[in-house]
Structures are given as C-alpha cells and as structure tokens.
Amino acid sequence: MLAVAAVCLVGLAIDTWLAVAYQYLPADPPAARWVQSIDWGPVAWCFGFFTWLGGLKQLAAALLALVLVFVIDRRAAPLMLCGSLTGVFYQVMNVLIHRARPGPGLVHVLTQQPGSAYPSGHAAFFTSFSVLLLYCLFHRRVPNWAFALGWVFVVLLIAVACLSRIYVGAHWPSDIAGGLFLGGGWTALAMATRRLSDPVLDER
C-alpha cells in the first residue's frame, strides 16, 4: 500500500504543478471532446446522478457513510474517518489553485458548475469512499469471490463517475487525474497505517 500511496502522491504533485502552470493541458480538449463524442448508451443515464450529487449532497453522503461504518463496525470507524480527510485536502487545493472549468468555446458544457475545477471532487470522493466502504463493511463479512465482485463494482463506479464529469463539461481529464491521485493516494496511505487498517484487514 505504501508503494501505491507513493506513486499516487508523486502523480498528484506533478499534476498539481501542471494545473497551477496551465489553464488546461494540450491533451485535455481533444480527450474531453472524444469522451463527449461517444454514445454511452445506458451508462449515460447515470451521468445526471453524479452531477446532482455534488456540494452539500456529497458532504451529506460522506457523513452518512461515516455513520454507517460506525454503527456496523466501530473498529473500522477510525480508518473511515481518516480516509474522509480526502475532502479536507480537496477543499484546500480547490480554493488555492482555483483553476477555471472548461469553457463552452472548447468543449460542450452541458451544465454550468460553481467553483473551480482542480482537482475533481467527485473523483476524489468516489475513489476514497467506495474503496474504504468496501473494506470496512465487506472485507471480513463476505467470501473472497463476493469481495472480488465488490472490487469490480467499485472500479466501474469510479470510472462512470469520472467519465460523467468530463461528459457534462465540468472537468478536464487532468482535473479527474488529480482527483484520482488525491483519493487513491490518501486512501492507500491510510490503509498502510497498521493501527488504522489492522481492525479491518484481520482474518475473517
């Protein structure tokens, strides 16, 4: 887990430096337009949900996740609480960097979003909370095959959440990368802290 955390945090540092230096990267507009050009079929039905789940609603979802873990398994609550600090780091970075969101002259903007673009709060939130909920609620309670299916669901959930933010024109792909690095790096660091993760990862 420490290796994963190190890779993510180095990636976050590089991506953040680029976000400070450039309004968007050369690859961002063509990559965003490519995502928007695809007919995602039934998957696109979920995109509106991720747009809706933002701001205070996302904070409420985070608090609900914390309460759920505390009620079901109090031993896992410290890990979940530590992982939720991803939201604090996101808020600080979002205010300090203040990168502009994609403009309608560069990509198709379906919904105007308040606030700045970097990093993607949705990417950070779903990366951190979905992984931690999977471990805190299911690791010691379901068979290995079910836990593996849980990982498939988590990966698909994160992927659809990230695609939705690019599809509606709310974020550049490099904003999404920053959110993934932030959420993945901090979550891996929390999981690598034995005092936090041992109550969750011990034998079933």
Q: Which pTM value belongs to this model?
A: 0.93
The predicted structure's pLDDT at residue 119: 96
The predicted structure's pLDDT at residue 113: 78
3-state secondary structure of 123: helix
The predicted structure's pLDDT at residue 136: 94
H-type helices in the chain, by residue range? 2-21, 28-37, 47-52, 56-72, 77-83, 86-97, 121-138, 144-167, 173-192, 194-201
The predicted structure's pLDDT at residue 70: 94
Q: Give dist(CA 176, CA 131) in Å, integer.
A: 17
The angle formed by the CA atoms of residues 91, 97 and 103, to the nearest 5 degrees, is 105
> 116: which residues sit within 8 A by CB, 6+ positions away?
94, 95, 97, 98, 99, 100, 101
The predicted structure's pLDDT at residue 80: 95
The predicted structure's pLDDT at residue 106: 86
Looking at residue 156, its amino acid is L
Collect the ranges in the chain with pLDDT lower than 70. 203-204
The predicted structure's pLDDT at residue 203: 56
The predicted structure's pLDDT at residue 3: 93
